[in-house]
Amino acid sequence: MMHPLPVAFAVLAQCLDAEPLPACRSFIVTEAHVLARLTPDAGSGACCPEVLYTSYLSAEVAWMLNLGSGRAAVGVGVFGGREFAIDATQLGVRARYRRWLGRHRAVDVGAGVVLTSVGAGGLTEHAGLTTHAALDLGGWIRLAGGVDWVPALRYSTDYPPVPVRVSPSVYLGFSLTRTPARLVWAAAGAGGLLAAAWDN
């Protein structure tokens, strides 16, 4: 069974994939982000180098509305992700703005709130702010990056085991969009089900 939120976005949207007016009044955006952490701490290269350049994987779905000018779109998206090096899971929501550079090329920016859990903690354990930007070159892959500010987020180094702050976090990488992103979602979901079945 599909999650109700993507289904609701699909019902609201006129188009399954992003296009400007007059082709689409509204559309949904599906993305699979593959990002690398570039900063272990604010201005400190000495902090926890073992988490530098580690991967952050996330999925995002958004509903967007093309504005009357035909040159921009606004909307809202929800996302969830996993940063493996610090054992962190994230869930958040972002307001989004898209500036069309052509029929399929665009610049996207977004900002919102993010909830982060570490280990066995609850999703409300660490609340913070998130920003995201991407350059869509007209295909199914985009250059992407972002900054998260979660003040309470800590990471314990192996030796000595002292919790250190790892936020703000700067990420850079790429995003898959359109059908490739949906295929990644399906593969990840199937893998999760198989892993759960194997554990049982």
| Structural domain boundaries in the chain | 4-199
Scanning the structure block, which residue is given the tokens 């093309």?
66
Quick count: other Cβ atoms within 10 Å of Cβ 120? Answer: 7
Say how far residue 110 (Cα) sits from the centre of its chain: 10
Written as one string, the DSSP assignment of 70-135 is SSEEEEEEEEEEEETTTTEEEEEEEEEEEEESSSSEEEEEEEEEEEEEETT--TTSEEEEEEEEEE
Average pLDDT for 82-86: 81
Q: What is the pLDDT of residue 110?
A: 98
Looking at residue 40, its amino acid is: P
CATH number of 4-199: 2.40.160
Using pLDDT thresholds of 50, 70 and 90, give the confidence band for residue 152.
confident
Strands 154-156 and 141-149: unpaired
- CB distance 75 to 63 below 8 Å: yes
Q: Which residue has the tokens 């709130």?
A: 113
The model's pLDDT over 21-32, given as tens digits with 9 standing for 90+, comes to 999 999 999 999
Total-model pTM: 0.82
pLDDT surpassing 50 at residue 130:
yes
Q: Compute the mean pLDDT over every residue in the chain, rounded to the nearest whole number.
A: 82
Q: How far apart are CA 13 and CA 68, in angstroms?
A: 16
**Residue 65: strand, helix, or coil:** strand
How is residue 21 annotated by DSSP?
A: T
